[in-house]
């Protein structure tokens, strides 16, 4: 079982989380070309080693997280919120 350190809830089993996908993708402008959109939606580096990926704490605080994880050893190097200012924006204090 992977254990993910949720910045909001603390360390939890990965079964509380849902895997999103490649966290390094930057989506192009809405009016960008077909080639640019194909690249963003369909093409992947598929790294063996340390990669940036998104997870959502679906059975917890429901935050989207950016996780740096090794796809061979499953070691997690860092976890941070995908949208760090979300708490402030919704009136919370974290």
Give contact residues for other proteins (rule: CB under 8 A): 1-2, 13-15, 18-19, 21-22, 34-35, 38-39, 41-46, 48, 51, 53, 71-74
Q: Of 72 and 86, which CB lies nearer to other proteins in the complex structure?
A: 72
Task: Tell the smallest beta-carbon distance from residue 86 to other proteins (Å).
Answer: 23
Q: Could you tell me which residues come within 8 angstroms of residue 75 by beta carbon, excluding any fewer than 6 positions away? A: 69
How does 33-56 read in b/e, with b if 16+ C-beta sit within 10 Å? eeeeeeeeeeeeeeeeeebebbbb
Task: Tell the smallest beta-carbon distance from residue 71 to other proteins (Å).
Answer: 5
């Amino acid at each position: 079982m992977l254990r993910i350190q949720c910045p909001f809830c603390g360390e939890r089993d990965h079964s509380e989380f849902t895997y999103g996908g490649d966290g390094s993708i930057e989506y192009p402008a809405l009016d960008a070309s077909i080639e640019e959109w194909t690249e963003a939606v369909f093409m992947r580096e598929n790294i063996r080693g340390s990669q940036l990926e998104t997870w959502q704490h679906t059975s917890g605080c429901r935050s989207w997280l950016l996780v740096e994880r090794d796809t061979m050893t499953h070691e997690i190097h860092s976890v941070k919120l995908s949208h760090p200012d979300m708490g402030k924006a919704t009136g919370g204090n974290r």
